C-alpha cells in the first residue's frame, strides 16, 4: 500500500486501511465463543484491543505487570460494557519467573484459550539488563513472549481440538524490524553493552518476533495443528512506548505527523488479525494497515529463525 495508502487511508485488498479502526474491522463479528489473552492490555493499543474484543463478546484476560492499572483497565471496560467478560492476571514479560507463574495461574483456571496476543513491549530503552541478566528490550519484547507462547501452546492445541475452532497467535512486531544489527540477531552479544544501540536493539527484538512467528507457523503446519501464527506492524501510534525517545524522534514525529495514527486506528490491525473471518487458515504472514505486507529478507531467513529458536530455548533453560 505504501506511503500513499498510509496518508490517504485508502483501503487495500482486505477492504481496510490505515483509516480503519478496531471497531470497523470487527464489525458484526461474534466472538462469544472465544477466550483471549492480551499482554500489556492496560494502556494504548493493548487496552483498545481488550476493549474491542470484549465488545465483540470474547472473554478477555488482560496480562500486565501493574496490578492497579490492570484492575482499572478491567473496570473501565466493564463500565463501558456491563456485559463484558474481562479479567486481569499479573504478568511481567521481562521476567522468566513471572511468565512461568502467569502460565501456571492461567492454566489453573481451566478455561479454554483461543487467542494469544503478544502485545506488551518497550522501545528505545537505554542499555539495561532484566532480572535474568538479559538485555531489557530483547527480554521484554521477545524472550518473555517466546516462553509464554511455548507454555500455553498445549492449552491452545487442546482448545482447538475440543472446540473445532481455529486458534490464533498474534505477535506485535514493527517496521523497525528492518533496522537492526548487520546479521539481524547479535547471538554473541545480546547482553553486551559495548556497541549497544537502543534503536537497533529494538529492531532486533522486533525481528525476533517475526522470526518466531514464522518458525512457529511452520512447525504447527507440519504437525497439522489448527492454529495460525501471524505478526504485524500496528503503524506509527502515539503511545507511552515513546517515553524513552529523544530529541531526534520528536523532530521525526513533527515532520511525519500525517503518518501517525490514534489508538483506535493503531489497534485495528491487531483486532483484524485476531478476529476477522477472512483470515481463517492464513498463517506465517506479516500485516500492516490490515493487509499482508512484505518483510525484510532477514525476517524470511529460515536458518536464522531456527538458530534463534534454539538460542532462545538454551537461554531460557539456563535461567533457574
Whether residue 309 is predicted with pLDDT greater than 60 in this model: the reply is yes
* pLDDT reported for residue 1: 53
* pLDDT reported for residue 235: 86
* pLDDT reported for residue 72: 98
Q: What confidence tier does 240 reach under pLDDT thresholds 50, 70, 90?
A: low
Provide the grid cell at 289: 494497515
Catalytic residue among 4, 142, 181, 196: 196
* pLDDT reported for residue 10: 81
Using a 10 angstrom Cβ sphere, with 0-12 exposed, 13-18 middle and 19 or more buried, the burial of residue 34 is buried
Please give the average per-residue pLDDT across 294-309, as a whole number. Answer: 98
Pairwise CA distance, residues 161 & 114, whole Å: 11
Please give the average per-residue pLDDT across 241-245, as a whole number. Answer: 49
* pLDDT reported for residue 160: 98
Among candidates 57, 46, 47, 56, which has minimal Cα distance to 26? 56
Q: What confidence tier does 257 reach under pLDDT thresholds 50, 70, 90?
A: very low
Among candidates 164, 281, 173, which has minimal Cα distance to 221? 281
- How many C-alpha atoms does 252 have within 13 Å on its Cβ side? 10
Of 64-73, 214-223, 248-257, 258-267, the range with the lowest mean pLDDT is 248-257
Mean pLDDT of the chain: 92
Pairwise CA distance, residues 150 & 82, whole Å: 33
Tell which wins on pLDDT, 258 or 143. Answer: 143
Whether residue 47 is predicted with pLDDT greater than 70 in this model: the reply is yes
- How many C-alpha atoms does 159 have within 13 Å on its Cβ side? 22
* pLDDT reported for residue 242: 46
Whether residue 310 is predicted with pLDDT greater than 50 in this model: the reply is yes
Please give the average per-residue pLDDT across 103-129, as a whole number. Answer: 97
* pLDDT reported for residue 260: 56
Q: What confidence tier does 248 reach under pLDDT thresholds 50, 70, 90?
A: low
- Greatest CA span in the chain, whole angstroms? 52
* pLDDT reported for residue 320: 86
* Helix axis angle, 302-317 to 198-223, nearest 10°: 100
Provide the grid cell at 79: 463500565
Q: What confidence tier does 193 reach under pLDDT thresholds 50, 70, 90?
A: very high
Q: What are phi and psi of 288, to 5 degrees?
A: -150, 140
**Range 4-7, long-range pairs (CB < 8 A, 24+ positions):** 5/289, 6/235, 6/259, 6/289, 7/258, 7/259
For the question of residue 4 being annotated catalytic, the response is no
Whether residue 7 is predicted with pLDDT greater than 80 in this model: the reply is no
* pLDDT reported for residue 304: 98
* pLDDT reported for residue 58: 98
Whether residue 152 is predicted with pLDDT greater than 70 in this model: the reply is yes
3-class DSSP assignment, residue 101: helix
Please give the average per-residue pLDDT across 159-186, as a whole number. Answer: 97
Query: For the segment 12-46, what is each residue's pLDDT rounded down to a tens digit?
Result: 999 999 999 999 999 999 999 999 999 999 999 99
pTM of the model: 0.92
Domains along the sequence of the chain with CATH: 2-317 (3.40.50.720)
Please give the average per-residue pLDDT across 293-297, as a whole number. Answer: 97
Amino acid at each position: 500500500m505504501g506511503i500513499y495508502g498510509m496518508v490517504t487511508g485508502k483501503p487495500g485488498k482486505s477492504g481496510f486501511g490505515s483509516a480503519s479502526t478496531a471497531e470497523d474491522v470487527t464489525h458484526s463479528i461474534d466472538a462469544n465463543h472465544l477466550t483471549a489473552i492480551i499482554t500489556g492490555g492496560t494502556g494504548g493499543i493493548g487496552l483498545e484491543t481488550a476493549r474491542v474484543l470484549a465488545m465483540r463478546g470474547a472473554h478477555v484476560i488482560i496480562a500486565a505487570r501493574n496490578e492497579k492499572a490492570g484492575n482499572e483497565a478491567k473496570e473501565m471496560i466493564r463500565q463501558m460494557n456491563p456485559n463484558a467478560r474481562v479479567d486481569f492476571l499479573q504478568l511481567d514479560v521481562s521476567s522468566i519467573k513471572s511468565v512461568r507463574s502467569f502460565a501456571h495461574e492461567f492454566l489453573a483456571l481451566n478455561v479454554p484459550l483461543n487467542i494469544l496476543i503478544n502485545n506488551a513491549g518497550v522501545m528505545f530503552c537505554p542499555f539495561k539488563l532484566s532480572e535474568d541478566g538479559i538485555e531489557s528490550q530483547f527480554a521484554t519484547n521477545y524472550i518473555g513472549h517466546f516462553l509464554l507462547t511455548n507454555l500455553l501452546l498445549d492449552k491452545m492445541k487442546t482448545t482447538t481440538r475440543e472446540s473445532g475452532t481455529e486458534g490464533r497467535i498474534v505477535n506485535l512486531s514493527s517496521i523497525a524490524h528492518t533496522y537492526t544489527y548487520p546479521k539481524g540477531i547479535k547471538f554473541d552479544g545480546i547482553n553486551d553493552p559495548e556497541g549497544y544501540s537502543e534503536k537497533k536493539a529494538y529492531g532486533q527484538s522486533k525481528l525476533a518476533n517475526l522470526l518466531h512467528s514464522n518458525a512457529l507457523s511452520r512447525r504447527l503446519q507440519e504437525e497439522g495443528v489448527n492454529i495460525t501464527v501471524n505478526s504485524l506492524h500496528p503503524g506509527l501510534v502515539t503511545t507511552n512506548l515513546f517515553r524513552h525517545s529523544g530529541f531526534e524522534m520528536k523532530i521525526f514525529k513533527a515532520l511525519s505527523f500525517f503518518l501517525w495514527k490514534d489508538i483506535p486506528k493503531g489497534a485495528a490491525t491487531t483486532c483484524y488479525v485476531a478476529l476477522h473471518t477472512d483470515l481463517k487458515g492464513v498463517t506465517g504472514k506479516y500485516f500492516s494497515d490490515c493487509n499482508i505486507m512484505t518483510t525484510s529478507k532477514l525476517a524470511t531467513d529460515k536458518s536464522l529463525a531456527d538458530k534463534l529458536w534454539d538460542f532462545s530455548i538454551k537461554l531460557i533453560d539456563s535461567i533457574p
